[in-house]
Amino acid sequence: MAVSTAFLTALKPLATRAVNIRVLSSLNNYGEPQYSGSATSYSAYIEKVTRSNSDLERDEQVIDYKAYVPSSTLSLSMDDEIEFPDGSIRPIVEIDERWDEHGKQFVVISVGSGRG
């Protein structure tokens, strides 16, 4: 059994919380994001972390939480919107898809501080 498959098997029972994800569809005339339809709910294991991430422009972003989503179909971008169980909408800082020989097993979404 591949490591990510074993991790997915262990992750599913731990994914007891839900995150809601809305996909960015476009920007309006004022440059504000417009999201498509209603949010899709995914079960997730949420871990509190505290670390920094520097992007290509050397801008430092603080990562507050990681959401481990056991899904082989979830596809998202940094511009999408994620809502945590407490109702806060948090900026996506980093996305990491975990694959093995059977395909995508889960997605790790690192997020920053939220707004209520």
* Residue 74 confidence (pLDDT) above 60: yes
* Residue 73 confidence (pLDDT) above 90: no
As a CATH number, domain 3-111 is 2.40.10
Distance of CA 25 to the CA centre of its chain: 17
Q: Give tens-digit pLDDT for 6-40.
A: 555 666 666 678 999 998 888 889 988 888 888 89
Q: Give the phi and the psi of residue 59 in degrees, each rounded to 5.
A: -80, 125
Domain ranges of the chain: 3-111
* Residue 85 confidence (pLDDT) above 70: yes
Q: Where are the beta strands (DSSP E) in 11-69?
A: 17-22, 24-27, 33-35, 40-54, 60-69
pLDDT band at 110 (very low <50, low <70, confident <90, very high): very high
Q: Give tens-digit pLDDT for 50-61.
A: 776 666 665 677
